[in-house]
Amino acid sequence: MTPEEWTAVRLSLLVATTATLASLPVGVAVAWLLARRQFWGKGLLDTLVHLPLILPPVVTGYLLLITFGRRAPVGVFLADNFGIVFSFRWTGAALACAVMGFPLLVRAVRLSIEAVDTRLERAAGTLGARPLWVFATVTLPLCLPGVIAGAILCFAKAMGEFGATITFVSNIPGETQTLPSLIYTLTQVPDGDAAALRLTLVSIAISMLALLGSELLARRICVRQMTA
Amino acid sequence: MSLDVDIELVRDSFHLVARFSAQPGLTALFGRSGSGKSTLVDIVAGLVRPDRGRVAVDGKLLLSTEQDVFVPSHLRRIGYVFQDSRLFPHLSVRRNLLYGRWFTRHDGNGAATGLEAVVALLGIGHLLERRPGSLSGGEKQRVAIGRALLAHPRLLLMDEPLASLDDARRAEILPFIERLRDEAGVPILYVSHSVAEVARLATTVVLLNDGKVTATGPVVDILPQADSGEGGSVLDAVVTKHDARFQLTTLATRAGDLQVPQLSAPVGSTVRAYIRARDVMLALEPPSQISALNVLAARVAAIVDAGRAQADVRLDCNGAAVTARVTARSVEGLALAPGRPVHAVIKSVSFERS
């Protein structure tokens, strides 16, 4: 593999890991809100979360561009006040991947939270645990397999994200050129077929490893929780 | 400690109005299913909000719709043992037991509050490292009781803790609840629809019928009027003798001596005997040469129609109340009327070890 290809693989792993870790706490919080609370605007939040799943990725990428771009209001605000710049940076690729993976994460976590018996949570309350502690000591451990599944889905989505990323942060080698972007570029040039095939195999390997790892982790948690 | 409840709640067609106080010891909320018992304890625990009313423990206001007070359940320090034990499946028995300790600051009151003391009281030492999934129903309930106790509650709620268990498991847990009542020093509010359980455990009974409190008072006074379908009477008794050969135990009661199937309680200990009204036979002459071992001299105090051509004959046995369920035909045939002396005959085998 050429250095250029290695760079793309490393960048993809960095972008996908960052996207997953950053959206995990937010995703769990939103999933909990949707699963356990009734509030005004719940339907709106639910729709908003699922929007990236149904919109064409290019549209999502364009919406990100006109929101977080260099001249866009939110982008300017973040750059001026916090020094955070998304446009044409790898952080922008991570943001695009996080947004695209978010609905998958929330769906998986929400389902597993809904499967946790609320009677156990109420029992924890009568033992003196405040709601946040009930979540940390009862709900979260019991829905952990679902959280892992959601995180892996989000990671896999981030590894494969193409449309939103290329629309939002373009295809700059070493900065925003992730694995799918490079494969796409290689298919556009003569003699790129061999390299594209190599990267395709790498991509398949990473996805399968992630899936295998999550299966093992989830199984270990289940065994630990349910046996004597 | 004292618990004061005065609440009102309307849900669809169900109307719950309850007002009672509970004193130290075990207070039983007694009534058939659907009478609102569980809703009432949920209100005391803070899991359900009533439409109107107040709940106070030891004068500390936990709920008052008038003064807009609502203490959330995790700040009430009220232990709750559920019908389905609700142990945390991902934690070992030991960590289940110690769960409440993370949140309650120790303030040194309450007797059996250490892990060792509670484990010894409930006999669960051999289960500590196991997971709830591998426990039997009775073991689960004992762990659930221990878990609630170790959170240092001011008051312990028990919602039919034995209802999901078979008779053998029930018999295994009842002695622990008795010890809890007598030794742990935590007042208990106990929900049940079983006359036998209430007769054995309760100090005070709150009778609930269709969402209304119909009577409150000591178990001996309240239970006989509790339920016409399963009427009976309660006698306080002292164990005086065990007969190893025939496996019988003699109990001294105000009404006279009773012979019952052998109990495990030692001589001198106090127990309660529950006599179902339909197990009591009446005779005008003292019967001789019969198999029944218990014959009590009595006087008819009142006769109450029990429907379907049957009557409950309330007897005065030397000051103790015993009820006999007989047919209307027998009432007429024996010319039973208030004041008439009779003999109450009770077979020893009709006593159940609850």
Chain A residues at the B interface, defined by Cβ less than 8 Å, are 117, 119-120, 122-131, 133-134, 137-138, 141-142, 224-228
Residues B212 and B244 in one domain: no
Q: Which residues of A touch B147 (CB under 8 A)?
A: 127
Range of the domain at B343: 232-350
Chain B stretch 70-109, residues whose beta carbon is closer than 8 A to a beta carbon of chain A:
72-80, 82, 84, 86, 88-90, 99-100, 102-104
Residues B128 and B193 in one domain: yes
- For residue range A65-88, list pLDDT tens digits in order: 999 988 888 888 888 888 888 888
Residues B275 and B344 in one domain: yes
Q: Which residues of A touch B148 (CB under 8 A)?
A: 126-127
Nearest-by-CA chain A residue for B41? A126
- Predicted confidence at residue A20, as pLDDT, reads 95
* Strand, helix or coil for residue B216: strand
Given a cut of 80, is residue A180 above it in pLDDT? yes
Looking at mean pLDDT, say which of A96-105, A203-212, B249-258 comes out highest: A96-105
Q: Which residues of B touch A119 (CB under 8 A)?
A: 82, 84, 86
| Dist. CA A74–CA A81, nearest whole Å | 11
Nearest to A122 among B47, B77, B79 (CB): B47
- Predicted confidence at residue B110, as pLDDT, reads 44
- Give the other-Cβ count within 10 Å of B2's Cβ: 13
Given a cut of 60, is residue B246 above it in pLDDT? yes
Q: At what angle do helices A42-54 and A3-36 cross, to 10 degrees?
A: 150
Residue B8, beta-bridge partner list: B17, B52
Residues B66 and B177 in one domain: yes
Q: Is the dihedral of CA A29, A34, A37, A40 positive or negative?
A: positive
Residue B169 sits in a domain whose CATH number is 3.40.50.300
Residues B26 and B158 in one domain: yes
Residues B24 and B104 in one domain: yes
- How much is the average pLDDT of B194-217? 84
- Predicted confidence at residue B229, as pLDDT, reads 56
* Strand, helix or coil for residue A116: coil
| Dist. CA B277–CA A149, nearest whole Å | 61
- For residue range A14-70, list pLDDT tens digits in order: 999 999 999 999 999 999 999 999 999 999 999 999 999 999 999 999 999 999 988
Of chain B, the percentage scoring pLDDT greater than 70 comes to 94
- Predicted confidence at residue A224, as pLDDT, reads 67
Residues B320 and B209 in one domain: no
Order of strands across the sheet that contains B52-57: B69-70, B60-64, B52-57, B3-11, B14-22, B212-218, B204-209, B26-30, B188-192, B155-159, B78-81
- Would you place residue A225 in the very low, low, confident or very high pLDDT band (cuts 50, 70, 90)? low
Q: Of A112, A116, A127, which to mutate for an interface test with B (greatest number of B Cβ within 10 Å)?
A: A127
DSSP string computed for A136-166: IIIIHHHHHHHHHHHHHHHHHHHHH--HHHH
Residue B332 sits in a domain whose CATH number is 2.40.50.100
- Predicted confidence at residue A54, as pLDDT, reads 92
Which tokens sit at B185?
A: 């020093």
- Predicted confidence at residue B111, as pLDDT, reads 41
In this predicted structure, which of A33-47, A85-99, A199-213, B331-345 has the lowest mean pLDDT?
Answer: B331-345
Nearest to B131 among A130, A133, A227 (CB): A227
| Dist. CA A128–CA B102, nearest whole Å | 8
Q: Report the candidate in B319, B192, B154 with the shortest Cα–Cα distance to residue A128.
A: B154
- How much is the average pLDDT of B32-49? 87
Residue finishing a domain among B178, B200, B225: B225
Total domains, chain B: 2
Residues B218 and B248 in one domain: no
Output the average pLDDT for chain B: 83
Residues B114 and B196 in one domain: yes
Which tokens sit at A155?
A: 């990671």
Cα A142 to chain center, whole Å?
A: 21
Is beta strand B212-218 parallel, antiparallel or unpaired with respect to B204-209? antiparallel
Is beta strand B14-22 parallel, antiparallel or unpaired with respect to B3-11? antiparallel
Looking at mean pLDDT, say which of A157-166, B156-165, B246-255 comes out highest: A157-166
Under CATH, which architecture does the A3-223 domain have?
Orthogonal Bundle (1.10)
Residue finishing a domain among B176, B191, B225: B225
| Dist. CA A41–CA A28, nearest whole Å | 18
- Predicted confidence at residue B112, as pLDDT, reads 42
Residues B320 and B246 in one domain: yes
- Predicted confidence at residue B225, as pLDDT, reads 67
A-to-B residue pairs, Cβ atoms closer than 8 angstroms: 76
Q: Which residue has the higher pLDDT, A221 or B135?
A: B135
- Would you place residue B317 in the very low, low, confident or very high pLDDT band (cuts 50, 70, 90)? confident
Residues B310 and B165 in one domain: no
CA atoms within 13 A on the CB side of B109: 7
Residues B195 and B242 in one domain: no
Nearest-by-CA chain A residue for B98? A127
Q: Which residues of B touch A120 (CB under 8 A)?
A: 86, 88-89
- For residue range B160-178, list pLDDT tens digits in order: 888 877 777 777 788 888 8
- How much is the average pLDDT of A133-138? 92
